[in-house]
C-alpha cells in the first residue's frame, strides 16, 4: 500500500499554490511533510483525501486514482484535517459511532473498535464527556481515533500535534509511531524535533514546490554541511574566509562569522592560523552539525 502524489498543480485564483508536486510514501514509513505556513501542505493533503480537486495531476492510493474513484479511495484513507473539526455537541462514543456508520461499519464491529481506540488513544478517563467539554489535547485524540476507526491503510494527519502540551506531545508521537508499523503514514508539522523523532522520510515544500524529498537518514548524514561559527573581539572581513566555503556574518554582527564548510577539521586548522596571523582575540569557535532545523531554515528562507 503506498501513496503516490503525481505532478499536482493547484491554483487559487491567480495564485499558484501547488506547482508540479510529486512524492511517494511507502508502506511502513512515516513521511514528514514540512514547509512554512502557506507552502501548500494542507492543500496537498486535502487533494490526497479527495476534498479538493487539483487543476493538474493526480494522487494514487495503492494505484487507485483519487480523481477517478474518490469514494473507493476514501475507505482506504484515515484523515485528520487541519484544525480537527468535530461535532462539538456529541459524546465521544456517539461521534465515533457516527463516523463508523459513515464507513459502513456494523453495530458490534463499531463497538469493539471504539473500545479498542478509546484505550489506544488514551481516552478512557474522558470517554463519558461531550466533545466540547474536552481540552484541545483530548480533542486531538478524538480526531486521531476518528482517523483510525475504519483501520485505514493510509493515514494522513495534518498537524496532529498542534497545540498539545509537552506530555501529550510525547504520548501522541508514541501513538503515531505505534500505529505506523504496517501503514503508510503522512504527517505535516512545523516541529522539526517531531520529524527527527518519528519520521523516516522527509518532504519539504516551499511556495508550492517540493524542494527536498529524501530519507531523513540521508539528509542528516549529508557530509560537508558542517557550520563553523567564529566569534572574535575585532571586526572580521568576509574576504579572509574565501578559501573555506560560504561565509556570512552571524546574526548580523561584524565580529562573528558563520562558515559552511565541507571539511570541518581542515577548516578549523585554517581558522586558528588565521586568528594568529591577524592577531585576533578569539571569543569562541563553535561547530554545528547541520540538523533538520538548519536545513529547513536554509531551504525555505527567502
Partner 1 sequence: MLSLYWKEVNAFFNNLSGYLILGVFLVSLGLVVWVFPETSVLDYGFADLEPLFIYTPYIFTFLIPAVTMKMIAEEKRSGTWEILMTSPVSIPKIILVKYLAALTLVVVALLPTLIYYFSVVQLGDPPGNIDHAGFFGSWIGLVFIGAVFASIGLFGSALTSHQIVAFIWGVFISFLMYFGLTALVQIQIMSPFALFLEEISLSFHYQSISRGVIDAQNVAYFLSVIIIMLGLTGLWIRRK
Residue with Cβ nearer partner 1 (38 or 85): 85
Minimum distance from residue 156 beta carbon to partner 1 (Å): 9
Residues 16-55 that bind partner 1 (CB under 8 A): 46, 49-51
Minimum distance from residue 89 beta carbon to partner 1 (Å): 6
Q: Are the CB atoms for 84 and 146 separated by under 8 Å?
A: no
All three cell numbers of 121, joined, read 488513544
Check residue 87 for interaction with partner 1 (CB under 8 A).
yes
Site for partner 1 (CB under 8 A): which residue of 29, 43, 44, 74? Answer: 74
CA distances from 21 to 38, 212, 220 (A): 15, 11, 23
Residue with Cβ nearer partner 1 (118 or 142): 142
Q: How far apart, in whole angstroms, are the C-alpha atoms of residue 54 and residue 43?
A: 9
Site for partner 1 (CB under 8 A): which residue of 7, 83, 174, 246? Answer: 83
CA distances from 73 to 22, 105, 204 (A): 19, 16, 25
Q: Which stretch binds partner 1 (CB under 8 A): 80-88, 210-218, 263-271, 272-280?
A: 80-88
Residue with Cβ nearer partner 1 (28 or 107): 107
Minimum distance from residue 226 beta carbon to partner 1 (Å): 44
Minimum distance from residue 58 beta carbon to partner 1 (Å): 17
Site for partner 1 (CB under 8 A): which residue of 4, 24, 65, 103? Answer: 103
Residue with Cβ nearer partner 1 (70 or 245): 70
The C-alpha torsion from 50 through 56 and 60 to 61, rounded to 10°, is -20
Minimum distance from residue 134 beta carbon to partner 1 (Å): 15
Number of residues that bind partner 1 (CB under 8 A): 26
Minimum distance from residue 151 beta carbon to partner 1 (Å): 14
Minimum distance from residue 103 beta carbon to partner 1 (Å): 6
Handedness of CA 156, 162, 168, 169 (dihedral sign): positive
Q: Which stretch binds partner 1 (CB under 8 A): 74-82, 114-122, 254-262, 264-272?
A: 74-82
Residues at the site binding partner 1, with contacts judged by CB under 8 A: 46, 49-51, 71-72, 74-75, 77, 79, 81, 83, 85-89, 97-104, 146
Amino acid at each position: 500500500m503506498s501513496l503516490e502524489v503525481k505532478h499536482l498543480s493547484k491554483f487559487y485564483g491567480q495564485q499558484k499554490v501547488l506547482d508540479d508536486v510529486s512524492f511517494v510514501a511507502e508502506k511502513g514509513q512515516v513521511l514528514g511533510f514540512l514547509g512554512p505556513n502557506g507552502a501548500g501542505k494542507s492543500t496537498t493533503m486535502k487533494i490526497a483525501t479527495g476534498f479538493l480537486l487539483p487543476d493538474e495531476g493526480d494522487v494514487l492510493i495503492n494505484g487507485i486514482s483519487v480523481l477517478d474513484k474518490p469514494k473507493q479511495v476514501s475507505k482506504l484513507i484515515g484523515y485528520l484535517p487541519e484544525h480537527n473539526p468535530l461535532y462539538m455537541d456529541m459524546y465521544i462514543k456517539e461521534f465515533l459511532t457516527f463516523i463508523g456508520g459513515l464507513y459502513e461499519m456494523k453495530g458490534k464491529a463499531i463497538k469493539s473498535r471504539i473500545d479498542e481506540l478509546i484505550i489506544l488513544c488514551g481516552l478512557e478517563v474522558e470517554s463519558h464527556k461531550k466533545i466540547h467539554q474536552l481540552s484541545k489535547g483530548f480533542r486531538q485524540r478524538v480526531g486521531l481515533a476518528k482517523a483510525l476507526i475504519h483501520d485505514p491503510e493510509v493515514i494522513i494527519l495534518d498537524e496532529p500535534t498542534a497545540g498539545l502540551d509537552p506530555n501529550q506531545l510525547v504520548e501522541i508521537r508514541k501513538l503515531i509511531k505505534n500505529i505506523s508499523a504496517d501503514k503508510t503514514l503522512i504527517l505535516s508539522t512545523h516541529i522539526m524535533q517531531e520529524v527527527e523523532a518519528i519520521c523516516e522520510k522527509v518532504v519539504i515544500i516551499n511556495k508550492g514546490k517540493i524542494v527536498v524529498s529524501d530519507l531523513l537518514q540521508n539528509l542528516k548524514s549529508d557530509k560537508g554541511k558542517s557550520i563553523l561559527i567564529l566569534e572574535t573581539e575585532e571586526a572580521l572581513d568576509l574576504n579572509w574566509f574565501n578559501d573555506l566555503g560560504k561565509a556570512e556574518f552571524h546574526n548580523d554582527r561584524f565580529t562573528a562569522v558563520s562558515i559552511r564548510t565541507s571539511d570541518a577539521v581542515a577548516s578549523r586548522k585554517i581558522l586558528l592560523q588565521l586568528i594568529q596571523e591577524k592577531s585576533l582575540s578569539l571569543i569562541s569557535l563553535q561547530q554545528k552539525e547541520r540538523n533538520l532545523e538548519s536545513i529547513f531554515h536554509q531551504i525555505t528562507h527567502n
